[in-house]
């Protein structure tokens, strides 16, 4: 019995549904994962028989049956919407039956739904060409922007749900337009007792992901023994796969997805297990996860980058091997007491720069930019969130505190005197944003002050940290009760975390 890949939304289906998909796939002579990926994509990862097309086309259900299609199948969209998911599968099978035995690739399978003329055509076959109404309606599918939407490009987002990459190949001058890169040939199914080069490649994968040590591999390189089986079972368990200890299609897809790079836009496979770990680490909320389970969006990217920062890993926002290992070895990255601010030790220095921010007037070694661990993480989290919308405009952080909360007076800079409100390591000065994102000083009444971006920054702080206080003398912000006025705060925002 074939194993199903973790497409987005698969957790919303029951065993009866999945078993029926497998049986239908046998009847149609198609890979059941193709059907699951198409239904996941068409239903918005809901697998709901009643989900309707958001654009108002009238389509409904698992493969978005159009009213005309429903009538041809002997039913209606209203009747389809009332069915159980298992019952509606009968009509999915009925729809695909004319293509029985012809759908050998995910591209062919999806073309049967999107545009049957594309079934059996090469991946470079053009479906829509600019200028045309059809192209305009589907221009988001033109991955390489060449004015031609090919079979491969049209199927790319569905294919991605199987853990496949969607990088666009650049055509050579004078060549026919191309779509996404062709898939690698399927690897053989591997199981205990086998001995081959492919087994050694599998062992290397388990070593890279932290499930097998080099010493363990050296006891039997290329031999699928109990240690390789145990490592594979643990990988399968960690990624919501059947822990059968066999390197089957579903497990290969998960490993391939990791090798391709799990990042913004990735779907299915290892994405949902990763998201659950980020929730456990208190870097992603359950509410955030519920908006896109199994879909790697900006919230997931921001949470993963914060995790990487916490672990001193390059904050690429991509699930690399070292990030994967750290996620699975760390029980809790941010404990409850840190999140609620009970960690009072003022001993964490803000790095000089990071995603979304830089510093100004910094003393050597960051002596004036020391805070509690909670505060430093809050600044980095704020900057990450800001960078999502303003990648070319940096937040400028200034004074925080001194190690242990000491006074700010120093002989080199007498203007830094007491700063008593910075002694607890839970406050930071921030420069107002200058026009064009220039890294210069400004005041709320200066010609180079950008009131709109500064207001946006204030709103972001209040959204993410609603219980904190901001002092800044911009009268429009104080009148809106977004900031509080305070003498000496024309040229900087003072953000006080609780």
The DSSP result for 239-266, as a single string, is TTS---S-B-HHHHHHHHHHHH-B-TT-
Average pLDDT over residues 68-96: 94
pTM (predicted TM-score): 0.54
Q: How far is CA 244 from the centre of its chain?
A: 28
Residues 272, 22: Cα–Cα separation, whole Å: 22
Report domain extents, the chain: 1-101, 197-260, 271-334, 337-496
What percentage of the chain exceeds 70 in pLDDT? 88
Average pLDDT over residues 139-150: 83
Which residue reads 């065993």 in tokens?
Answer: 15
pLDDT in tens, 424-469: 888 999 999 999 999 999 999 999 999 999 999 999 999 888 888 9
Query: What are the DSSP calls for 181-226, one per residue?
Result: PPPPPPPPPB-TT-BSHHHHHHHHHHHHTTSS-HHHHHTSTTB--H
Q: Is the pLDDT confidence value at 334 over 50?
A: no
Cβ atoms < 10 Å from Cβ of 336: 9
Cβ 93 vs Cβ 54: under 8 Å: no
Cβ 115 vs Cβ 137: under 8 Å: no
pLDDT of residue 192: 93
- The DSSP element (H or E) to which 39 belongs, if any, is helix 32-42
Q: What is the DSSP letter of 379?
A: H
Cβ 97 vs Cβ 146: under 8 Å: no
Residues 338, 369: Cα–Cα separation, whole Å: 19
Residues 407, 389: Cα–Cα separation, whole Å: 36
Cβ 333 vs Cβ 282: under 8 Å: yes
Cβ 249 vs Cβ 233: under 8 Å: no
Does the domain at residues 197-260 carry the CATH identifier 1.20.1740?
A: no
What Cα–Cα distance (Å) separates residue 287 from each residue in 268, 377, 389?
19, 21, 21
Q: The domain at 337-496 falls in which architecture?
A: 2-Layer Sandwich (3.30)
């Amino acid at each position: 019995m074939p194993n199903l890949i973790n497409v987005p939304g698969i957790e919303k289906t029951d065993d009866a549904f999945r078993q029926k998909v497998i049986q239908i796939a046998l009847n149609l002579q198609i890979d059941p994962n193709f059907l699951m990926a198409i239904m996941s994509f068409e239903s918005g990862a809901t697998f709901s028989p009643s989900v309707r097309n958001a654009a108002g086309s009238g389509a409904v259900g698992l493969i978005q049956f159009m009213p005309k299609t429903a009538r041809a199948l002997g039913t209606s969209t209203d009747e389809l919407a009332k069915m159980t998911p298992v019952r509606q599968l009968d009509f999915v099978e009925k729809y695909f039956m004319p293509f029985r035995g012809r759908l050998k690739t995910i591209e062919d399978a999806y073309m049967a739904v999107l545009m049957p003329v594309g079934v059996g055509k090469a991946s470079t076959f053009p479906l829509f060409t600019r200028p045309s109404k059809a192209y305009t309606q589907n221009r988001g599918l033109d991955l390489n922007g060449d004015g031609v939407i090919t079979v491969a490009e049209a199927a790319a987002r569905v294919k991605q749900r199987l853990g496949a990459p969607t990088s666009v190949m650049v055509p050579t001058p004078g060549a026919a337009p191309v779509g996404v890169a062709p898939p690698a040939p399927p690897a053989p199914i591997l199981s205990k007792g086998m001995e081959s080069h492919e087994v050694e490649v599998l062992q290397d994968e388990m070593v890279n992901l932290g499930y097998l040590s080099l010493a363990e591999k050296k006891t039997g390189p290329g031999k699928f023994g109990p240690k390789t089986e145990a490592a594979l079972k643990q990988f399968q368990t960690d990624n919501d796969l059947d822990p059968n200890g066999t390197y089957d299609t579903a497990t290969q897809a998960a490993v391939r997805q990791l090798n391709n790079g799990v990042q913004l836009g990735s779907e299915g496979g290892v994405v949902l297990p990763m998201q659950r770990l980020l929730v456990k680490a208190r870097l992603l909320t359950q509410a955030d996860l519920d908006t896109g389970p199994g879909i790697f969006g900006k919230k997931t990217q921001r949470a993963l980058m914060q995790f990487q920062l916490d672990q001193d890993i390059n904050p690429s926002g991509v699930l690399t091997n070292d990030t994967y290992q750290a996620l699975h070895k760390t029980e809790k990255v941010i404990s409850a007491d840190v999140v609620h601010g009970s960690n009072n030790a003022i001993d964490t220095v803000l790095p000089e720069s990071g995603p979304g921010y830089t510093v100004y007037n910094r003393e050597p070694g960051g002596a004036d930019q020391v805070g509690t661990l909670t505060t430093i993480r809050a600044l980095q989290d704020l900057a990450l969130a800001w960078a999502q919308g303003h990648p070319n405009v940096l937040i400028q952080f200034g004074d925080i505190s001194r190690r242990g909360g000491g006074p700010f007076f120093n002989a080199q800079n007498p203007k830094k005197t007491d700063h008593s409100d910075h002694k607890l390591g839970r406050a930071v000065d921030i420069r107002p944003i200058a026009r064009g994102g220039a890294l210069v000083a400004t005041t709320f009444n200066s010609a180079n002050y950008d009131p709109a971006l500064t207001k946006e920054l204030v709103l972001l702080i209040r959204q993410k940290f609603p219980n904190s206080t901001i002092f800044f003398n911009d009268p429009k912000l104080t009148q809106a009760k977004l900031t509080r006025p305070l003498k000496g705060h024309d040229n900087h925002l003072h953000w006080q975390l609780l």
